[in-house]
């Protein structure tokens, strides 16, 4: 069996979609002797590939700015794609007009552009809706990364539930991560890109309100544009400016140290398709306080602590509660850590995905 992957995010993206793509491709390579064919407009990030894996990029004659056109439309003219048995779109897209002889699988991470349209420019929403609807129609199997995403596909696009299989995101927890000294004072941390729905501003306001009652600082890890600037401007005009720190550039080697050294982590996002920081925090043995939307509770289960989604008062109260019984929370996390790491391990997720591939030929 030859398995083709839309590997754009694997080679170009350092955030959630990139991690998902690299982890899943690596897992499939390890679990199967099948040949993997990775299609990408270009290569920027390297990761381990088996000797049998092929990487296919656009013809040299094609201008670089047409990479997206190649990925969506012109890729069907590549001889390599006509040789695959399965094509897996790892980030919510499938090429248009792909041959019916090729089995098609697509992973849908979220349709947040439908839930939070204000976060997305009109054209971005239009193209995302077009590509997602087409992928759902043309796919032989749809992988939703959570029950929440599955329900969104049913509610917004009336997708047949029997066509959707829920398979979680594979998350790698490094057991050999080097511990680095990050900050001279105790701290709590939130790891997330900066977008309005991520709600870092709510966490900053909650911290500001209780800063005189706690002995730790707040570190916000992640990149962003407008939302990051708004958060920085708010902090500059507040009494907690010296105690709120922004870390925009954090390497994969550094990230485990933030979880290992934090008293606990917070994930205040209003809604997600999954919630990788929840798994990372629990996997590194760091207690986490997350908003209580359905996806976060699905991912964190009983190992996480939750506050009422969007509630400043409840967030303040829960931060103080977390600090007062942190050892109890840490003990609970450590007790559940092994099962969490197994549930979200790339090998476990890879086996589930391979089962889906096999089912398409049964």
In terms of Cα–Cα distance, which of 177, 176, 27, 157 is closest to 92?
A: 157
Helix, coil or strand: residue 57: coil
DSSP H or E stretch at residue 276: helix 276-283
Predicted confidence at residue 310, as pLDDT, reads 97
Q: How far apart are CA 105 and CA 90, in angstroms?
A: 8
Which residue do the tokens 């309100």 mark? 209
Which residue do the tokens 């939302």 mark? 227
Q: How far apart are CA 127 and CA 118, in angstroms?
A: 15
> What are the structural domains, with CATH classification, of the chain?
2-170+345-359 (3.40.50.2000), 187-343 (3.40.50.2000)
Query: Do the beta carbons of residue 220 and residue 251 sit within 8 Å?
Result: no
In terms of Cα–Cα distance, which of 66, 176, 88, 204 is closest to 138?
A: 88
pTM over 0.85: yes
- Strand partners of residue 164: 142
Distances in Å between the Cα of 25 and the Cα atoms of 43, 96, 105, 243, 258 are 15, 22, 14, 40, 27
Query: Do the beta carbons of residue 204 and residue 192 sit within 8 Å?
Result: no
CA 265 to mean position of chain CA atoms: 17
Predicted confidence at residue 274, as pLDDT, reads 95
* 354-355-359 Cα angle (round to 5): 115
Cβ neighbours around 156 below 10 Å, total:
14
Q: What is the pLDDT along the chain (362 residues), one digit of tens a residue?
A: 899 999 999 999 988 899 999 999 999 998 888 889 999 999 999 999 998 899 999 998 888 888 899 999 999 999 999 999 999 999 999 999 999 999 999 999 999 999 999 889 999 999 999 999 999 999 999 999 999 999 999 999 999 999 999 999 999 887 766 677 888 899 999 999 999 999 999 999 999 999 999 999 999 999 988 999 999 999 998 999 999 999 998 888 889 999 999 999 999 999 999 999 999 999 999 999 999 999 999 999 999 999 999 999 999 999 999 999 999 999 999 999 999 999 999 999 999 999 999 999 98
Query: Do the beta carbons of residue 4 and residue 84 sit within 8 Å?
Result: yes
Distances in Å between the Cα of 90 and the Cα atoms of 19, 33, 39, 142 are 11, 20, 11, 10
The DSSP call for residue 60 is T
Model confidence pLDDT, tens digit, residues 201-228 = 999 999 999 999 999 999 999 998 899 9
Query: Do the beta carbons of residue 124 and residue 90 sit within 8 Å?
Result: no
Query: Do the beta carbons of residue 160 and residue 190 sit within 8 Å?
Result: no
Q: How far apart are CA 321 and CA 214, in angstroms?
A: 11
Predicted confidence at residue 177, as pLDDT, reads 63
Predicted confidence at residue 94, as pLDDT, reads 98
In terms of Cα–Cα distance, which of 50, 273, 284, 270 is closest to 167?
A: 273
CA 93 to mean position of chain CA atoms: 16
Using only the alpha carbons of the chain, give its radius of gyration: 21
Query: Do the beta carbons of residue 199 and residue 220 sit within 8 Å?
Result: no
Predicted confidence at residue 211, as pLDDT, reads 97
Helix, coil or strand: residue 106: strand
> β-strand 2-6 against 86-89: which pairing, if any?
parallel
- Strand partners of residue 61: none
Helix, coil or strand: residue 97: coil
């Amino acid at each position: 069996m030859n398995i083709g992957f839309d590997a754009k995010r694997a080679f170009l993206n350092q955030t959630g979609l990139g991690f998902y793509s690299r982890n899943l491709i690596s897992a499939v390579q390890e679990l199967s002797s099948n040949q993997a064919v990775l299609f990408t407009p270009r290569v920027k990030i390297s990761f381990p590939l088996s000797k049998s894996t092929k990487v296919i990029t656009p013809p040299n004659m094609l201008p670089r700015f047409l990479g997206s056109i190649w990925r969506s439309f012109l890729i069907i003219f590549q001889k390599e794609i006509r040789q695959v048995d399965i094509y897996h779109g790892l980030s919510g897209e499938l090429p248009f007009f792909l041959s019916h002889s090729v089995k098609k699988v697509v992973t849908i991470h979220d349709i947040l552009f439908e839930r939070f349209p204000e976060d997305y420019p009109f054209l971005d929403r239009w193209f995302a809706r077009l590509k997602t609807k087409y992928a759902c129609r043309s796919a032989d199997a749809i992988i939703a990364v959570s029950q929440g995403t599955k329900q969104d596909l049913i509610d917004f696009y009336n997708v047949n539930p029997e066509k959707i299989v829920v398979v979680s995101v594979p998350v790698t927890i490094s057991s050999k991560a080097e511990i680095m000294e990050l900050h001279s004072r105790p701290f709590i941390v939130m790891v997330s890109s900066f977008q309005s729905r991520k709600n870092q501003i709510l966490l900053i306001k909650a911290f500001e309100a209780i800063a005189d009652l706690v002995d730790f600082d707040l570190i916000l890890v992640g990149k962003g544009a407008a939302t990051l600037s708004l958060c920085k401007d708010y902090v500059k005009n507040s009494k907690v400016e010296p105690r709120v720190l922004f870390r925009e550039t954090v390497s994969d080697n550094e990230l485990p140290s933030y979880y290992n050294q934090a008293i606990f982590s917070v994930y205040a996002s209003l809604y997600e398709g999954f919630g990788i920081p929840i798994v990372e925090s629990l996997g590194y043995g760091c207690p986490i306080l997350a908003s209580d939307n359905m996806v976060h509770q699905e991912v964190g289960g009983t190992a996480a602590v939750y506050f009422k989604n969007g509630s400043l008062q409840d967030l303040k109260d829960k931060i103080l509660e977390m600090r007062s019984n942190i050892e109890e929370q840490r003990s609970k996390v450590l007790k559940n850590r092994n099962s969490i790491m197994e549930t979200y391990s790339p090998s476990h997720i890879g086996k589930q995905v391979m089962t889906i591939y096999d089912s398409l030929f049964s």
